[in-house]
Amino acid sequence: MNKHTKVYLNRNEFGTVSGIKFIELHYADLTEFYYPIDLLVLASYKYHEGSTQKAFEKSFMEKYGMSMKEIQEEAALDLNKSLGVWMSKEFDVEKVGFKRIACIELDDRTITAECFAERIRNLFAVINLADGIGINIENIAMPVMGSCLKNLPDDEILSILVEQSRFAMEKTYNLDGIYIVDNDRERVMKFDRKMNEILNRTDVDQENVFSDEQCDEILCDMWSKMKYYREQVTSGKFKKRDRSDVLIEFEARIESRELRQFEFCVLARKMLEFIIYDIGGDKAGNRNLFQRIEYMRKAELASPRITAYMHIIRAFGNAEVHTDEEVEYSIEENYLDRQILVECLSRVVDYWIAYKYRSNKKIK
């Protein structure tokens, strides 16, 4: 199991007018986070120095000889007096792992849920302002903001973080994803459960797909076929566009044997989008997924049977990406649906390999 699958806990993907965005929950040390980050967000408490900021400031001082006070003095945007938020100048991401720091000032004795929500909104307002002056922020990482606010329960804090994050990404074109990172195991596991509750996920949604022997066998067989052609795919245009990340994710899931049902629905959709682009190119890419599938059929790049499988995958993915409405399923229906999705993805992968890398003819 690699480092990512050990500490990754939860993910919510959702559709917006500017594409699919995500919120991820990680059990990890924010001061040593393993993804390059555009903006690292910290909280400064008026009466209590948050443990995350204290650890970060100590680490940053040891490595680079700069304190948070010195960083703020040279800030690119300092709206601390009016909005309670400031943003630093740019750092060398190769050296520190992030481009900028943003800090939110919080009064941990008197703050209310309404004030906390307003301060989070202010953060995203500053990110929008930064975009307006040419500072591009595509992803951010933050701890569990407000963890030192004793008068606010953890459940309420997470609800505010998720709701405000989703709202901000729906309105912001460039911001694609938010990582919520915390190294307090008890707190982060509580947040994991609350995140599933907010997203109306059932126990079946959280079952491991690999616990189904039939699904395990098909998925492993699928990957054994795919990895043979992996170098051909990742060596060209896909590497530049980061579209091949789905292959890396798929491999990690096979190795870890950890893939919850709601995650598989999203992963299958991403795999479908990757395959359509690999075959259809830019002509298929500048549409929504339904239109891209229909383009494949009308252009005779895929048969009606194959595009029917594609629409089934799209429908499963839509249920996770585009709606928060609670839908009740029986265990039997979920169990059968899971196998149907695995079979459909397997057939589409077979089509992709046969069309693109073997016969170069569409599958009938």
Contacts with 358 (C-beta within 8 Å, 6 or more apart), sequence order: none
Say whether 20 sits in a helix, a strand or coil. Answer: strand
Strands 19-27 and 8-16, bridge-based pairing: antiparallel
Non-local CB neighbours of 112 within 8 Å, separated by 6+ positions:
151, 152
Q: Is residue 50 scored above 60 in pLDDT?
A: no
d(CA 273, CA 288): 10
Structural contact between residues 168 and 175, judged by C-beta atoms closer than 8 angstroms: yes
Its sign, for the CA torsion 117, 23, 328, 213, is negative
Per-residue pLDDT of 288-301, as tens digits, reads 888 899 999 999 99
Q: Which helix (H) or strand (E) holds 13?
A: strand 8-16
Q: What pLDDT is attached to residue 158?
A: 81
| Residues 71, 140: Cα–Cα separation, whole Å | 18
Query: What pLDDT is attached to residue 349?
Result: 95
How does DSSP assign 75-125, residue by residue? -SEEEHHHHSEEE-----HHHHSEEEEEEEEE-TTT--HHHHHHHHHHHHH
Q: Which of 1-5, 91-95, 138-142 has the lowest mean pLDDT?
A: 1-5
Q: Which residue has the higher pLDDT, 362 or 114?
A: 114
Q: Write the secondary structure of 259-310 as one string of H (helix), E (strand) and C (coil).
A: CEHHHHHHHHHHHHHHHHHHHHCHHHHCCCHHHHHHHHHHCCCCCHHHHHHH
Q: Cα(49)–Cα(42) distance, rounded to whole angstroms?
A: 11
* pTM to 2 decimal places: 0.70
Per-residue confidence (pLDDT) for residue 304, from 0 to 100: 95
For residue 7, what pLDDT is reported?
Answer: 63
Percent of the chain scored above 90 by pLDDT?
29
Q: How many CB atoms lie within 10 A of CB 203?
A: 10
Q: What radius of gyration do the chain's Cα atoms show?
A: 22
pLDDT score for 238 = 42
pLDDT digits (tens, 9 = 90+) for 248-294: 888 888 888 888 888 898 889 889 989 998 898 887 766 688 889 99
List helix spans (H) across the chain.
3-7, 51-64, 68-73, 80-83, 93-96, 113-132, 154-171, 185-198, 213-226, 230-234, 237-241, 245-256, 261-280, 282-285, 289-298, 304-321, 331-353
Alpha carbon 270 to chain centroid, angstroms? 12
Mean pLDDT, rounded, for 39-46: 83
pLDDT tens profile 297-348: 999 999 999 999 999 999 888 766 544 444 444 444 467 888 999 999 999 9
Q: What integer is the mean pLDDT of 32-39?
A: 83
Distance CA 36, CA 28 (A): 14
Task: Count CB neighbours of 89 within 10 A.
Answer: 13
